[in-house]
Amino acid sequence: MSGGGRWVVCVALLLQLTVRSEGNWLKNFAKPKPQLRLMEGVTEHLHNVMPYEQVQFSSPNVSTAYISTTKFQAAGMGHLYFITNKFIQYILSDQAFPEGFIDVEGDNTIQIDYLSHEWPILVSHYWASATVLVAGLVFAVLMPLIGLTLCCCRCTGGCGSRSQPFDAKYDSCKRQFYGMILAGLTILISFGVVCTFVSNEYLEDGVKELPTNVKKSLNDTRLFINNTKKEVDNLLVVNFDELEETLSNILEASGEIVKKKLGEVSKASVLSNLTAVVNGLGLIKQDLSNVDSLTRQLQETALQLDAALKECRSIIMKKLESCRFERTCRDILNRFNIQDLSLEANFSQILDNDLPKLPNVTATLKNISDFITADIEEEVMKGQQQFEKVKTIIQNAVNDNIPEIKLNIRKVGNAIKENSVKVDKVLDRVDTTIANSYSPTEQGEGLLKEFSPYRYYVCLGVAITLFLILICLTLGLFCGFCGSRPEGGYHHDDCCNKGTGASYLMMAVWLMFLSSAFLMIIALFYFVTGVTTDRIICEPLQNPTPSRVLNIVNRLYDVSAIHKLDNHQQPYVRPSPSNTDFNISSIIRDCHHNMSLFQVLKMERLIDLNKVLEYPTSFGIDQHIDELVSKIKLEGEIVILTPEAEKQLIKLSKSPLSSINFPAYTHVLGEKITSIDLIQLADALNQTASQLPMSKSEVKFSLTNQAMYLKVHQAQQVALMLDISQRLESTANQLQEHLRFNHSSLRHAVEHLLIEVEQAQKYLYTEGPTIVTKLAKEFGEEFNKHIDQYLQRVVSQIREDVGKCWPMSQAYNATIVAGCQKILNPYNGFWMSVGICSILFMPIIILCVKLASLYQKSDPYPGPLVEAEYLYDAYTDRENIPLASSNNKKKNARNKPRKKVTTAPSGNRSSNIPIGYENMSNPEIAVNTSANESRHPGHGGSVDYSAHLGRANIVVPTTSPSGGLPEAQPKAPPESQSS
């Protein structure tokens, strides 16, 4: 088939579908499917004659003003919290205790197992955390002892307390290397100090906000419970009352409903249209009377106006002819054709010819009056009243069953309200439990306000201690890196030299030794309490399903007690813990899944929703509805149109009302009434009169009077005729509309309605009883469907929608955020910061001691020989002993003449410098005249080393050839010192 042929077929099918659906195919396609289909056997045109309409139930007025929030900002501490939590998971990756370690006995007592046997399980579970704890305790014990040992060692001159005054060969490199490492560790310490201060502040903020956040969560939970009670009350009480009122109205109007649907099915409803026709005869009579009155009034006014205009025309022409020699008179005669001053020709024709030929309204009025006198309306109303008896018969038949049905509906409502009371009691118990939590919260708030400042200041003291250590380390490194070497004497020494840096570093060492035990004990206390709280409280609350802690809590606290019945009812029996699926863990889990409160609280143990769906049967509503339906019958013949009424209606259709020429009335208004505009002519006459000379006073006076008369005729008669014409046209249009009755004419309307009424009469006679029976059955089904739909709505919403648990889940999460993230995270971050700083103390102490020894040296590396001489003499007494205390033999031996002898800086002893090194001198060493040498001539010289201060004064005497007193050499100017 070609493409054109296919298009023709498609168009033909579309037209066929459109014709079959009476042009409403597109509308029918867009209509929703009916919710209730009639029973089998009903013809197609009966479908949906009684469409089911759901009851419009009201919605509860609930509040959504929930204020708890789960927002949390780490504010720069996220990495510390992350590291801390990862460390906790590493040392205690499993739960708080091993499986089976803690159990609950039958009398709700906690039994701890594995104490006397199977200890390896405990070891494998807690070995990492125990190792951290033991290591911390060992650190806290050993650090003070190590500090005491170091102090004693330095007091005896060891452990870097005293050293050679000049650098060893690699001391410069060591000083830079150790300084860089210590600087890196100091930076790490600074991070720890900052984290300690910030964690303490965040912890304090979290503690202060905790009571407020907990109260917000409690308020939101109570608001959620209150909203749920409103939803339950609205669904089970208010909506049922609305349903009951609707069902009562349906029962009371059952006869009217069936009668109305019967009229629609049988098309007997056209009887109402026919009744409207005869009822409209009175309006038609009134319209005809108005048309007759207006027509007569228009004719009379037109005759009066025409006579007045003829008289005015005669007078005006006579006066203008008398003054035609005046220019102004000739002008008005040329401007206006005074001879035509009369009614418009067309209007005159209508007045003379058409209006007298209009329908004889008087005769038509008499005809209408005859119909009304003959009681045509009463005859037609007899059929209407006969059809209305169907409603009365049906209603009287079912009235005996209505009270019983209402009583059973009320019983269903009472049963539903009993379920509502049960739900309210459960919610009241939950609300009471929450309300009782305010008092402990306020007590806890008081304790926090009382004792939290102590914790805060202890932690602040820890942070300040670490800060002091950091300050000492920073100042020590600053002076060590940037300061000069220490010089001999106090007058020329710089206050920020390397010696000062050494003092700062040793001060940091002593602060670390003094505070290490205190810091570590605080850190261990926070470590134990923080990890325990995390594993026993926060971790189970955040992951409730696999938590062993919550399993213990579930067995200790029986939340199913909220299902306990009243005292006069069957006592509540606690379920076995191994068989129950309703506990704290399940409540938390289901609430996070946003289930309804009915599912969360397992209220199916109190209310069997499946039985709710059986209420219509169990309370006998179905049975009574069937009895009511069986009584809805149509007995006897229904005559909706009497022969007399039919006869008069046929006579009405043939009356003159159907042949009135309405366009004749509409043409009246469209025509001009006068041939000359009277107002313009009056103005022209006044103007002409004013221009005439005084000799024509009589003409002037006459023209002025005629102008006045013309204006009076325009204002009274012409305006009145215009108003009458408008009213006549409006009344004629209204009469025409009343006579049509939504058809082209009265005759066509009456004939069409008579045909439809006769068909309805025949249909009622043949199919009436069967249709009424089927409509009654449909009525009963729809009545039952209202009840079933409401009960299904109750079951569905109670089970799935009422009390969606997201507000409670949000309040729960907000509480966890307030306690675990805003408090516990800074809490654990504090001990992590302090612990890391304490661990860094050990390498920092070693580096500080080494750097302090290096920073005390005043001279650079002098060379290998001087260093060797100093090392050889290192085992002698280094005190500055006067030479006079030596024995004479030694003096004499030393006073012997020597060749090219110089004194080496090796304490009180000297060694000969080989030839070739005589002129070697250290620019850092000042050569002065020694007072001791003057008192003890002949001695090789006096050397005073103050190793612990990093200074050295060397005196080298110059011996004269004569053996006399040496001459004092001027002191060499100080040279630039190398670092």
pLDDT of 867 > 60? The answer is: no
pLDDT single digits (tens) 718-765: 888 888 777 877 777 777 666 666 566 667 767 777 777 777 777 777
pLDDT single digits (tens) 470-507: 999 999 888 877 766 666 555 455 667 777 878 888 89
pLDDT of residue 295: 77
pLDDT of residue 865: 52
What is d(CA 676, CA 703) in angstroms, rounded to the nearest whole number? 17
pLDDT of residue 945: 39
pLDDT of residue 917: 39
Q: What is the dihedral of CA 417, 420, 424, 427, to 10 degrees?
A: 180
Judge whether 484 and 494 are in contact, CB under 8 Å.
Answer: yes
Chain centroid to Cα 329, Å, comes to 92
DSSP symbols for 910-957: --PPPTT-TT---TTPPB---HHHHHSTT---EEEEETTTTEEEEE--
DSSP state of 535: I
pLDDT of residue 223: 93
HEC assignment per residue over 52-102: CCCCCCCCCCCCCCCCCCCCCCCCCCHHHHHHHHHHHHHHCCCCCCCCCCE
Residue ranges of the domains in the chain? 3-31, 865-955
What is d(CA 713, CA 708) in angstroms, rounded to the nearest whole number? 9
What is the average per-residue pLDDT within 185-208? 92
Judge whether 798 and 596 are in contact, CB under 8 Å.
Answer: yes
Judge whether 838 and 516 are in contact, CB under 8 Å.
Answer: yes
pLDDT of residue 203: 92
Judge whether 764 and 267 are in contact, CB under 8 Å.
Answer: no
Q: Which residues contact 515 (CB under 8 A, 6 or more apart)?
A: 465, 469
What is the average per-residue pLDDT within 57-70? 88
> For residue 953, what are the β-bridge partners?
944
pLDDT of residue 4: 45
DSSP symbols for 165-196: SB--TTHHHHHHHHHHHHHHHHHHHHHHHHHH
Q: pLDDT class for 908, splitting at 50, 70, 90?
A: very low
Q: Is 108 in a helix, a strand, or coil? A: coil
pLDDT single digits (tens) 352-406: 655 555 555 555 555 556 555 556 666 666 776 776 777 777 777 778 788 888 8
pLDDT of 783 > 60? The answer is: yes
Which pTM was predicted? 0.63
What is d(CA 616, CA 788) in angstroms, rounded to the nearest whole number? 8
Write 870-879 long-range contacts (CB < 8 A, 24+).
870/164, 870/166, 870/905, 870/906, 872/906, 872/911, 873/906, 873/907, 873/909, 874/164, 876/907, 876/908, 876/909, 877/907, 877/908, 878/162, 878/907, 878/945, 878/947
pLDDT single digits (tens) 553-606: 877 777 777 777 554 444 444 444 444 578 888 888 888 899 998 888 888 888
Nearest of 649, 629, 754, 634 to residue 386 by alpha carbon: 634
Q: pLDDT class for 936, splitting at 50, 70, 90?
A: very low
What is d(CA 863, CA 860) in angstroms, rounded to the nearest whole number? 9
Query: Exposed, middle or buried, 808 (CB in 10 Å: 0-12/13-18/19+)?
Result: buried
What is d(CA 952, CA 184) in angstroms, rounded to the nearest whole number? 33
pLDDT of 446 > 80? The answer is: yes
CA atoms within 13 A on the CB side of 402: 17
Chain centroid to Cα 536, Å, comes to 33
pLDDT of residue 828: 93
Query: Exposed, middle or buried, 690 (CB in 10 Å: 0-12/13-18/19+)?
Result: exposed
pLDDT single digits (tens) 752-761: 777 777 777 7
What is the average per-residue pLDDT within 665-672? 56
Q: pLDDT class for 827, splitting at 50, 70, 90?
A: very high
Q: Checking phi first, is residue 802 left (phi over 0); if not, alpha (psi -120 to 50) or beta?
A: beta
Q: Is 104 in a helix, a strand, or coil? A: strand
What is the average per-residue pLDDT within 215-242? 91
What is d(CA 474, CA 495) in angstroms, rounded to the nearest whole number? 16
pLDDT of 113 > 70? The answer is: no
Handedness of CA 505, 510, 513, 515 (dihedral sign): negative
- Reading the block at residue 507, the tokens are 């001060």
Pairwise pLDDT comparison (911 vs 787), residue with the higher score: 787
Q: pLDDT class for 885, splitting at 50, 70, 90?
A: very low
- What are the distances in angstroms from CA 123 to CA 89, 97, 111, 533, 751? 17, 11, 19, 20, 107
Chain centroid to Cα 262, Å, comes to 53
DSSP symbols for 450-490: HHHHHHHHHHHHHHHHHHHHHHHHHHHHHHHHHSPPP-SSS
pLDDT of 200 > 70? The answer is: yes
In percent, the amount of the chain with pLDDT more than 90 equals 14
Query: Exposed, middle or buried, 546 (CB in 10 Å: 0-12/13-18/19+)?
Result: exposed
pLDDT of 408 > 70? The answer is: yes
Q: What mean pLDDT is reported for the chain?
A: 73
pLDDT of residue 188: 92
Count CB atoms within 10 A of the CB of residue 442.
12
